[in-house]
């Protein structure tokens, strides 16, 4: 009996419920591992497949796309797609899709976890208790920054930026946002006020970044921009590391230009600037914004939905242009 199931290349192992569907409906080029493939393995895998699911750590450049001659769809297992040369994909007629919506809440929740952990020194507290050196309650111990009632500056007001803003209501925060796109956003509550990038940085007690990484947002926050922030302010980044100039951030933290940072993403993953780990006013997470079982399963299902559509000759619901 011939195997007529389409051939799928998976660059990484996905959560079990997704793998179960994948195994039932596709032939796999090879068993995926829980590790990034080498660039040569990635190319080889993509060149054999009708469809592929890749992750944000897989750099899909023009040459990789060029050799993937039978590939019809590249489903990126992420909402961000800065890892893919979209122009090259378009030129080769390769459809690229992403996974919006299903990870919005998970990422907004994690942003708040990081924000609170940074402002309230949660990780330092955990480390102290585990060390066995905690001597008991003290009026002056681990004093953090008040969050309630402060000003939250949001850079990038797409789905995730808005979800973060909605969560600020319970903290009675003033929401100020910056977006490069249309200022006409009648659907936003009137209390959310648009500001220039500079005004956001000058006004906010906490700045949180939710813009995609593009050539225009690469190092959007550098030494100049950090200098506009208050010395008591924090910056939180759950978007993409390269939106902040990491070296400038380290300098700003070391010299007290800003008070602290909560980072889930880095310029070079998995190798953040080595000084970051030495600064106690910084909370570092390993890019887990969307890491709930629910979100990660839904992301897989969105990839599969797009793949089925394209292989059946229908438009991909999440085609990125």
Residue 175 sits in the site that holds ligand DGY (CB under 6 A)? no
Inter-axis angle of helices 122-131 and 104-119, nearest 10: 60
313: left (phi over 0), alpha (psi -120 to 50) or beta: left
Pick from 201, 161, 221, 203: nearest CA to 185: 161
What are the catalytic residues? 240, 269, 287
Calculate the alpha carbon distances from 274 to 101, 242, 246, 251, 268 in Å: 33, 16, 10, 12, 11
Identify residues 59-78 at the interface with ligand DGY (CB under 6 A): 78
Residue 217 sits in the site that holds ligand DGY (CB under 6 A)? no
Residue 103 sits in the site that holds ligand DGY (CB under 6 A)? yes
Q: Closest approach of Cβ 237 to ligand DGY, in Å? A: 11
Q: Closest approach of Cβ 76 to ligand DGY, in Å? A: 8
Residue 289 sits in the site that holds ligand DGY (CB under 6 A)? yes
Residue 241 sits in the site that holds ligand DGY (CB under 6 A)? no
Q: For residue 216, list its beta bridge partners.
A: none
235, 207 contact by CB (below 8 A): yes
Q: Closest approach of Cβ 302 to ligand DGY, in Å? A: 11
Binding mask 176-215 for ligand DGY (x = CB under 6 A): ----------------------------------------
Q: Which of 208, 290, 306, 318 binds ligand DGY (CB under 6 A)?
A: 290
95, 74 contact by CB (below 8 A): yes
Q: Which of 32, 37, 45, 80 binds ligand DGY (CB under 6 A)?
A: 80
- CA-CA distance, 277 to 102, in Å (whole number)? 31
- CA-CA distance, 244 to 252, in Å (whole number)? 12
Q: Closest approach of Cβ 202 to ligand DGY, in Å? A: 28
Q: Closest approach of Cβ 10 to ligand DGY, in Å? A: 16
**How many chain residues touch ligand DGY (CB under 6 A)?**
7
The contacts of residue 35 (CB under 8 Å, 6+ apart) are: 12
Chain residues binding ligand DGY by CB under 6 A are 56, 78-80, 103, 289-290
């Amino acid at each position: 009996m011939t195997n007529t199931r389409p051939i799928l290349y998976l660059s990484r192992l996905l959560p079990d419920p997704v793998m179960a569907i994948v195994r039932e409906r596709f032939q796999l080029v090879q068993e995926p591992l829980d590790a990034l493939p080498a660039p040569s393995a990635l190319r080889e895998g993509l060149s054999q497949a009708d469809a592929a699911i890749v992750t944000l750590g897989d750099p899909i450049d023009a040459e990789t796309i060029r050799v993937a001659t039978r590939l019809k769809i590249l489903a990126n297992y992420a909402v961000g797609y800065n890892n893919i040369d979209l122009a090259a994909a378009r030129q080769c007629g390769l459809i690229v899709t992403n996974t919006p919506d299903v990870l919005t809440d998970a990422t907004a929740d994690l942003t708040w976890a990081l924000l609170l952990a940074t402002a309230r020194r949660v990780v330092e507290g955990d480390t102290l208790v585990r060390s066995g050196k905690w001597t008991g309650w003290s009026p002056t111990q681990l004093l953090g920054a008040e969050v309630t009632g402060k000003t939250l500056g949001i850079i990038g007001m797409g789905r995730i930026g808005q979800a973060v803003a909605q969560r600020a209501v319970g903290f009675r925060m003033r929401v100020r946002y910056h977006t490069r796109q249309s200022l006409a956003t009648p659907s936003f509550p009137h209390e959310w006020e648009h500001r220039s990038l500079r005004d956001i940085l000058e006004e906010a007690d906490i700045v949180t970044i939710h813009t995609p990484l593009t050539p225009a947002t690469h190092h959007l926050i550098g030494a100049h921009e950090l200098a506009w922030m208050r010395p008591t302010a924090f910056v939180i980044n759950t978007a993409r590391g390269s939106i902040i100039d990491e070296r400038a951030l380290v300098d700003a933290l070391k010299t007290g230009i800003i008070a602290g940072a909560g980072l889930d993403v880095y310029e070079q993953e998995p190798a953040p600037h080595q000084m970051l780990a030495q600064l106690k006013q910084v909370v570092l997470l390993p890019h887990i914004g969307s890491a709930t079982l629910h979100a990660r399963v839904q992301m897989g299902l969105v990839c599969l939905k797009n793949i089925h559509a394209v292989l059946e000759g229908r438009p991909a619901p999440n085609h990125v242009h």
